[in-house]
Amino acid sequence: MRPLFLTLGFAVACGAPGATEAEEPGSDLGEVRVKQQEVSGAGTPPLLEVSALGLRDGKLLSLGDRDFKIAVDGSLDGRKVSFADDQLRDLTGAFPANPRGAQWEGITSDGSGRLFLLEENPGRIFVLDREGRELVHTVTLRVPVTNEEWTAAWNDSANSRGEGLVLLKNGHVLVAKEKDPKRIVEFGPEGERASGYRPGSEAANARFPTEGRASTMVPLMAWRLKGDADNFADISELAVGPGGLYVLSDESRAIARLPLLDKDDDAAEADEKWKLPFNGDDEKTEGLVILPGEKRVALVALDGPKKDNLMRVPLD
């Protein structure tokens, strides 16, 4: 069987341009606007669209929802590319209702190198082996309707569900509800308690626990954004980085850092925020990773076929 993903050869830990920032007046967060000249095109993965980004072993994962492909290692020039067209579709059975493509909205990996793909509707996480040749586990995200407003909205709106995927050491996951209303949701086995998030609670180098071929997770807790971050119109991606959880907003063209998701407080407040210099005519900003290195550099994916749809954004 051919490998599922495109095998590419560029390490994201390579050098990035230096950062220069300008303070934005009047923000409670001391909001930083990234200067236009400091943002540079990092390259173009050989995908029709980039719907999500992740990291594995210091290399970039790019997920395409129109052509059912995963680009591995983040090559930005497309050399030495091999691929399998419909193998991702065949493995997962995720045939889209929309002929334009699937609804892949998150990609990450655990310490064993297995790949975890988030499907927005109906709400599943597909776990593939390291080589992408076998579907080894499927997690169904089930959201019972409760007195919390977002649970009914999750079930009523198929296109405003899961965005971004973070694996936690304890076998729980964090998924963002995109909007109307936006939330960050901790899913886990029914009956377990939420753990929240703080730096170091992500799975990182640990193997994420899975048993058997299938499981179900339910919401254990959901956090709303408060303060300046509540002005975000939506949440389009989650990423782990130095000092916390990084949240990307497509409609607001901004990134915020949440240092903590407190299991005893359902409101999460940002301690840093960056306004991105993309205009409204750009494609949707759908992917985010924080690259390893001495200074924080974000890689933001624009969900569209244009050249240089990966943008390198200095945060420090």
237-241 and 214-226 strand pairing: unpaired
Angstrom distances, CA of residue 134 to CA of 91, 138, 225, 295: 7, 11, 37, 37
Name the residue among 165, 170, 180, 61 with its Cα closest to residue 123.
165
Angstrom distances, CA of residue 149 to CA of 136, 191, 221, 238: 34, 21, 13, 22
Residues of the chain with pLDDT > 70: what percent? 78
31 by DSSP, 3-state: which? coil
Instruction: Share the mean pLDDT of the chain.
Output: 81
- What pLDDT sits at residue 103? 81
- What pLDDT sits at residue 81? 35
In a domain? residue 91? yes
208 close to 172: Cβ distance less than 8 angstroms: no
Which residue range(s) make up the domain with 173? Answer: 6-314
Rounded CA gap, 34 and 305, in Å?
24
In a domain? residue 252? yes
Report, as an integer, the average pLDDT of 161-173. 96
Instruction: Tell me the per-residue pLDDT of 266-296, one tens digit each, with 9 for 90 and over.
Output: 999 999 999 988 765 656 888 999 988 889 9
Rounded CA gap, 231 and 239, in Å?
19
291 by DSSP, 3-state: which? strand
In a domain? residue 40? yes
Residue where the block lists tokens 């655990």:
110
Instruction: Tell me the per-residue pLDDT of 115-136, one tens digit each, with 9 for 90 and over.
Output: 999 998 889 999 999 888 899 9
In a domain? residue 1? no
Residue where the block lists tokens 């210091």:
58
Residue 38, exposed/middle/buried by CB under 10 A (0-12, 13-18, 19+)? middle
Percent helix, strand, coil in the chain, to 5, is 5, 40, 55
Beta-strand ranges (E) seen in 57-199 are: 59-64, 69-72, 104-109, 115-119, 124-128, 135-141, 162-167, 173-177, 183-188
83 pLDDT tier (thresholds 50, 70, 90): very low
In a domain? residue 303? yes
More confident site: 57 or 209:
209
Instruction: Tell me the per-residue pLDDT of 192-220, one tens digit each, with 9 for 90 and over.
Output: 999 999 999 999 889 999 999 999 999 99
What global pTM score does this model have? 0.86
Rounded CA gap, 268 and 259, in Å?
9
Which CATH number do you get for residue 151? Answer: 2.120.10
26 pLDDT tier (thresholds 50, 70, 90): very low
In a domain? residue 87? yes
Rounded CA gap, 295 and 150, in Å?
36
C-alpha gyration radius of the chain: 18
In a domain? residue 73? yes
In a domain? residue 158? yes
Q: How many domains does the chain have?
A: 1
